[in-house]
Structure 1
Amino acid sequence: MSKILVSIFKSSKRNEMYLYVDKRDQLEKIPEALHQAFGKATHVMDMLLTPERKLARADIEKVMSEIAEKGFYLQMPPAEEDYIQHLPEELLSFNDPV
């Protein structure tokens, strides 16, 4: 697969959880259990994926192959430790005793 036009949806249940699907199929191929866990899917954007394109938090080849094989790619939120590591030092110091 050299390119695919996808629609990206965000979850109403988990912050920073996204679902990538083939734009032609939209949410038709999503299993019911995933619908339940994902919650209300809010359309964020459409994007053309190609092997050369870079994604911020996902491997483009994995995204494209999972959409081709399963009909969707689920991007999970980053681990909580990732949030903490990227906070500015002044925010981390709010919990320090005075």
Structure 2
Amino acid sequence: MQAFVYKSLRKADTYVYLAVRDDFACLPEPLRTQVGELAFVLDVTLTPERKLAREDVAVVRQNLATRGFHLQFPPKPLLGETPDA
């Protein structure tokens, strides 16, 4: 399965994976508004064996198959850290 990855220029460390390149119409309007402008980062083949740094590849593949997109949020701060503002 091919995925096309975009980063949000509004929300730091937020990425959107799309099943079809530049198919932003599959994103719900509230989500499009929240993430703002998206910049293409890479295309990647998602096989069941592939490892992703912050996401479970099975969840990403399922979301792409059912919704056409997957949203990757920034990592949660570690206990005692404060998130960047």
Name the TM tier (shorter chain).
Answer: 0.7 to 0.9
Count of aligned pairs between the two proteins: 80
Structure 1 CA distance for aligned equivalents of residues 25 and 32 of structure 2 = 10
2:13 to 13, 16, 31: 16
Deviations 1:3-25 (A, max 9, x none): x1111000011111000011356
Seq. identity, %: 38
Quote how far apart the aligned CAs of 1:28 are. Answer: 2.5
Instruction: Select the structure that is richer in helix.
Output: 1
Moved over 2 A (4+): 23-26
TM-score (norm 1): 0.75
Q: Which residue of 2 aligns with 1:57?
A: 54
Residue 31 of structure 1, CA deviation: 0.9
Shift of residue 81, structure 1, vs aligned partner:
2.0
Gaps of 5+ in 1: 85-98
User: RMSD of aligned C-alpha atoms?
Assistant: 1.5
